[in-house]
């Protein structure tokens, strides 16, 4: 069922307030317009699958989350691809994928510490039902928990995007987990190469996360050989349903994504997995704020 974004008294403030703090770019405004034409908000779906556990939070305190950016754009990947969404991009990551598409949060982390309540307020000023807590690795930051709880209490549909290496009882309507394959390993010999290899796979963490909410697993696929590794990985988590697995081409420009999609699409079909777009890159290129 198509449903429009929630109407609130705050809706008229949508961009003005956001612009004060963040770069809501021309392209992200365009994305909102495009989004309203395409998108299926899936509101009913989101609310029917609410089952994340509660936990005590530090809501009464005033504590910070380090964020790189907050912006309004289109979700480009996975089940909610095409959905108008607000993104809270935390900065800091315990991995260092060589192909990281948000190096400002990993290789060269940037951003500011902000009280989570202030972030909440800025998100709620934007009339958009879907909120994506992403990174970097958002689960590294404890205050992502009260932020997620408050967002859901406010009626927002929350997606948490994580690499599945950190366990934290965050609340989500969709737990979007992207376990990293060997194709992600840094190609140099820095200490990050060793740390990355040590930390990138955490089966127990992923098992816990998929129990906490509806989930999707997204694998970044670079070469056809990676597909065997995906199948092998999933043998370690037999409870994962194939139709919750998405294969996503590696790449940060539309041409290379299209090239990889040529062989990835039939392979995903053959294996019984979903094919994920990276629609934000197709639409806007690889730029911040989209």
Binding stretches for ligand SF4 (CB under 6 A):
93, 95-97, 100, 102, 105-106, 135-137, 163, 180
Nearer CB in complex with ligand SF4: 180/280: 180
What the block records as the tokens of 211 is 């129990």
- State the nearest-atom distance from the C-beta of 40 to ligand SF4, in Å: 26
- State the nearest-atom distance from the C-beta of 103 to ligand SF4, in Å: 7
What the block records as the tokens of 146 is 């009260």
- State the nearest-atom distance from the C-beta of 200 to ligand SF4, in Å: 8
DSSP 240-286: S-GGGEEEEE--SSHHHHHHHHHHHHHHHHHHT-EE---HHHHHH-S
Nearer CB in complex with ligand SF4: 204/262: 204
Nearer CB in complex with ligand SF4: 14/94: 94
What the block records as the tokens of 209 is 């996360």
- State the nearest-atom distance from the C-beta of 184 to ligand SF4, in Å: 6
Q: Rounded to whole angstroms, how far apart are CA atoms 135 and 69?
A: 9
Q: Rounded to whole angstroms, how far apart are CA atoms 278 and 203?
A: 26
- State the nearest-atom distance from the C-beta of 163 to ligand SF4, in Å: 4
Nearer CB in complex with ligand SF4: 17/286: 286
CB within 8 A of 114, min separation 6: which ones? Answer: 64, 65, 66, 67
Nearer CB in complex with ligand SF4: 95/227: 95
C-alpha to C-alpha distances, 164 to 27, 30, 103, 218, 249, nearest whole angstrom: 30, 32, 18, 11, 19
Q: Is 222 helix (H, G, I), strand (E, B) or coil?
A: coil
């Amino acid at each position: 069922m198509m449903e429009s974004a929630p109407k609130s008294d705050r809706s008229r403030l949508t961009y003005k307030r956001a612009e004060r703090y963040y770069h809501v770019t021309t392209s992200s405004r365009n994305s909102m317009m495009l989004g309203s034409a395409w998108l299926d908000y899936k509101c009913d779906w989101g609310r029917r699958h609410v089952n994340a556990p509660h936990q005590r939070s530090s809501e009464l305190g005033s504590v910070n989350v380090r964020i790189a950016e907050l912006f309004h754009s289109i979700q480009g990947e996975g089940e909610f691809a095409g959905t108008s969404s607000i993104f809270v991009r935390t900065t800091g990551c315990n991995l260092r994928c060589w192909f990281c598409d948000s190096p400002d949060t990993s290789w060269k982390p940037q951003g500011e510490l902000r009280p989570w309540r202030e972030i909440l307020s800025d998100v709620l000023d934007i009339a958009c039902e879907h909120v994506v807590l992403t990174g970097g690795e958002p689960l590294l930051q404890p205050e992502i928990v009260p932020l997620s709880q408050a967002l859901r209490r406010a009626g927002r549909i929350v997606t948490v995007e994580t690499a599945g290496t950190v366990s934290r009882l965050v609340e989500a309507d969709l737990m979007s987990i992207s376990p990293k394959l060997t194709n992600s390993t840094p190609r140099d010999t820095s200490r990050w190469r060793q740390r990355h290899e040590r930390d990138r796979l955490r089966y127990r963490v992923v098992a816990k996360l998929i129990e906490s909410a509806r989930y999707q697993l997204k694998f970044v696929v670079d070469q056809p050989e990676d597909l065997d590794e995906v199948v092998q990985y999933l043998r370690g988590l037999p409870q994962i349903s194939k139709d919750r697995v998405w294969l996503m081409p590696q790449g940060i420009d539309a041409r290379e994504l299209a090239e990889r999609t040529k062989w990835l699409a039939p392979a995903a079909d053959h294996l019984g997995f979903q094919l994920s777009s990276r629609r934000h890159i197709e639409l806007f290129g690889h730029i911040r704020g989209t």
